[in-house]
Amino acid sequence: MAGTHEPSAPDYRLDGFQAVTDQIEDDFSSVTLSDDLFVPLAEHHSADDRDSYLLLHDRSAIWDIPGMAEYVTLHITRDIEQRTFDFASERHPVVPLAQNWLLRRGCPPEVVRGSHPHGPRPADGLTARLEGLLRANSGNRYEVLDHYTDNPCSFDVGVEVRTLVYDSHPDSVDAPYRLFLEETTKDLRSHTVREGAFTSAEEADTWITERDSPLPLAPAPPSAVGRRAAAARARSTVTGNGLAVAPAPVSPPRSATGPAPAHSRGRER
């Protein structure tokens, strides 16, 4: 249709370069096989032309296996002297995890913050906060165990993305399995993210399947002031005569169960 904006094609900047090995060439061809349906969301090329970072939306994912993640990241590295290239790539269910991958590989933060300008906007402050946590994911706090993208490609319903992670943060020790539920409106203009808290991956799977109760939302993180007050109370108690004494020894907290084996549904290939 006349006037329809077509997104630009990904700019790999590989003219005159050869893959460093035949296997790298085959892998790159496989990753970019449907790149005529890639929509660039973020792109950065270093000043010395040695590194390129790309965040892409793969519109062909809806015709792949059910639940396929729709976002692709690429980090291309070049040997300018040898005129060869290597690359790393990964699929992600949601944009913040894709942005985190790029950040960890050296992409400038301002590029990541400016990505996805035309996509659905966060509908509220909680959504923005939770996406910020996934984007930062410092110290690999969240280990992705499973994900599923439910995109019916219909204007009658929206898109739902479920991402199950193991949260290693001490504040999550009692319910370390967290389900990030992203729901995009049918007009694709805005989305919400909510975080469910579960004691096991099986419990999260049961909720996803049955949906017979509201998502058990994760509690808001304690404030810095609250943490300091709790620490002070733990260090001492006050007797009736106003003298501070050390608290009695307590048993160590129950350690978190390790991550369950990753499920097959919607896994990255």
251: in domain: no
Q: Which pLDDT score is estimated for 8?
A: 81
Q: Which pLDDT score is estimated for 227?
A: 54
Q: Do 82 and 160 share a domain, yes or no?
A: no
Q: In the chain, what percentage of residues exceed pLDDT 90? A: 71
Q: How many structural domains does the chain have? A: 2
Which range of residues forms the domain containing residue 174? 121-225
Q: Do 69 and 160 share a domain, yes or no?
A: no
Q: Do 96 and 202 share a domain, yes or no?
A: no
Q: Do 135 and 150 share a domain, yes or no?
A: yes
Q: Do 80 and 137 share a domain, yes or no?
A: no
Q: Do 19 and 79 share a domain, yes or no?
A: yes
Which pLDDT band holds residue 241 (cuts at 50, 70, 90)?
A: very low
Q: Do 67 and 139 share a domain, yes or no?
A: no
Q: Do 109 and 135 share a domain, yes or no?
A: no
247: in domain: no
pTM, 2 dp: 0.81
145: in domain: yes
Which of 150-159, 175-184, 260-269 shows the lowest per-residue confidence on average (mean pLDDT)?
260-269
Q: Which pLDDT score is estimated for 221?
A: 83
Q: Do 111 and 61 share a domain, yes or no?
A: yes
What string of DSSP letters covers 117-185? TTSPEE-SHHHHHHHHHHHH-GGG-EEEEEEEEE----TTS-EEEEEEEEE-SGGGTTS-EEEEEEEE-
| CA dist list (Å): 172 to 165, 178, 230, 262 | 12, 9, 16, 19
Greater confidence, 237 or 34? 34
256: in domain: no
Q: Residue 1: pLDDT above 70?
A: no
Tell which of 87, 119, 151 closes a domain.
119
Q: Do 132 and 169 share a domain, yes or no?
A: yes
3-state secondary structure at position 230: helix
Residues contacting residue 88 through CB under 8 Å, at least 6 positions apart: 74, 75, 105
250: in domain: no
